[in-house]
Structure formats: C-alpha cells, structure tokens
Amino acid sequence: MIAINAQAKLTVSLQVTGVRSDGYHEIDAEMVSLELADIVTIDPDGTGLAFDGPFSAGIPVDDDNLVARALRLADKSARVTVTKNIPHGGGLGGGSADAAAILAWAEFDDLERASRLGADIPFCLVGGRARVRGIGEIIEPLPFAARDFTLVIPPFGVSTPAVYRAWDSLPESQRHLGVNHLERAALEVEPRLADWRERIQRASGIEPVLAGSGATWWLAGSHPELGDELREARVLVTKSAYLRR
C-alpha cells in the first residue's frame, strides 16, 4: 500500500474570462497549494472506495466520485481509502486533490484530459503556486511565496456547478466584480454566505475573500483567535506549501 498527501488548493484570485461553445467556463486564476491535506491510501491489489476522517460524512462512494473517475481515466483499479481533512463543498479542491493523487500514482500527466474531470485537477497535479488558465489545463508555475492563510469554513457547502449556472444568469455588469468573479454568484446560490462574510469581517477587522465557489472564506495571515468568535465554523490556520507526495 502507498499513502499520498493530497494537498488542498486555495484560489487567491479568479477571473471568469468566457464560456466556450461546449459550455466549459474559461478562467484566469492564481492558485496555491496548502499544507492542509487529505491522505489517500492506495492498495493496488484491492478494489473499492472508502472515506474516513473529520470531513468524510456524506461523501458518495459510487462510480461518479472523482476518485473512481480518476481510476477509470488512468485505466487502473485499486482499493482507495481517503482520510478527509479537507472539507468538501468548501471550494478548497479536496475532491480534485484526491483525484490528482490517483493520477499521480498512475503516472498520468495529460493535463487537458484531467481538466475534463475537474478544472482544479491539473493544478493539483502540478501544485505549488501557479497561474491557471483555459478550463484549468494551462498551468504556468509562479515563484513560491511563503504565506499564512486563515480559512473559515461555515457549517454548509456550496455546489460548484450551481454557482457557475448562477454566474451565467448574472447581468453582464455583475459578472466581473472583485478578486473572485464567482463570489456574487455564490451569494445568489447560498445567501447565508453574506452573513458569514459580515461576521468574519466584524471579528477580524479584515474583509475576507471567498475561496473559489465557496463556502470557505479566507484571510491572509494567521488569525487563530477567530475560532473563539466563530464557534459554529471550522477555523483552520494553514500555510502555502510546495507539492509534497
């Protein structure tokens, strides 16, 4: 058996630059790998998929799971157990990181095909810090920058497909606002995000940024004291990191 770190990613900035004729959204984003990571344990002699760990509840283990789809893409079979330390539905690329760990184990490095599974998977294969364009398959590595981040994870998730559908429905004047172009659409899909943004800003004095499609909000720097102020949320302090398999 082999155990692989599947590191979370943080989308520091995100522009949605267009929609292709096949419906895929094109982006121009800066992403960084985090120390926060799932552990993907692979037994090449077995079959099946299981999840444990603090964020494992409710994750489906059917053939549509990204790990199962990554195995099919790489034409591999294995028994895979994922210890979930990355919240799912939080915009931190946990499922994509798990799928990327499978592809890395299988020595699969076709970023364009990997992007068809999920836009974050190519970055999770490359890791570090990068500019990410196209539908996620164009990765331009950037110099590593050591940074601390505080993640505030509300007690609910947000559907990425629903957020992109909401972005499509926004008036043109509201589609390209702020550091994260998906933030306005995510607030349409999940109005409770607005309350959390206000609570985080009151507690920290800093306006937070939505991580990808949400539901996680992030702040630059280390703010562990927010855990006392925002008890219903999970507050994690983590660092940018090189990709470590």
Are 217 and 196 a contacting pair, CB within 8 Å? yes
Q: List the catalytic residues.
A: 9, 120
Bridge-based pairing of strands 129-134 and 48-52 is unpaired
Residue 140 backbone phi and psi in degrees, to 5: -115, 100
- Give pairs for 62-66: CB < 8 Å, separation 24+: 65/95, 66/95, 66/96, 66/98, 66/99, 66/117, 66/118, 66/121
Amino acid found at 114: A
Residue 23 backbone phi and psi in degrees, to 5: 95, -10
Burial of 1 (0-12, 13-18, 19+ CB in 10 A): exposed
